[in-house]
Structure 1
């Protein structure tokens, strides 16, 4: 559970740093998500999921 909370904290820190460093770019990126088809968002989500699993597997395994 400690590792899960640590990972969540790291994700929040990285995302917060992006918003702090590039607020305009993040606003534009989020606005463009509304125009993307569901299939493209799903594919991107699955790619991010697979990449995260592989990264954790490589680091931990």
Structure 2
């Protein structure tokens, strides 16, 4: 449970930083997403999921994993 809270906290920090540092960019990204079809958004989500898993796997291989 503790690891899930850490992960959620990191996501919220990253999201918050994006909104604080580049709110105009967030608005542009949201407009871009509105222009995509559902399938294109689903594919983008799948790509983000795969990238996240690859980064976690790489971090674990490099010894940064929490055990």
TM-score (norm 2): 0.80
Query: Number of residue pairs matched?
Result: 61
**Which one has the bigger helix percentage?**
1
Counterpart in the other structure of 2:29? 29
How large is the Cα RMSD of the aligned pairs? Answer: 1.1
Runs of 4+ in structure 1 off by over 6 angstroms are none
Give distance in 2, aligned partners of 1:56 and 1:32.
Answer: 28
Give distance in 1, aligned partners of 2:24 and 2:52.
Answer: 26
The runs of 5 or more residues in structure 1 that have no matched partner are none
The runs of 5 or more residues in structure 2 that have no matched partner are 62-67
1:2 and 2:2 are equivalent in the alignment: yes
Structure with larger RCO (C-alpha < 8 A, sep 6+): 1
- Larger Rg: 1 or 2? 2
Counterpart in the other structure of 1:48? 48
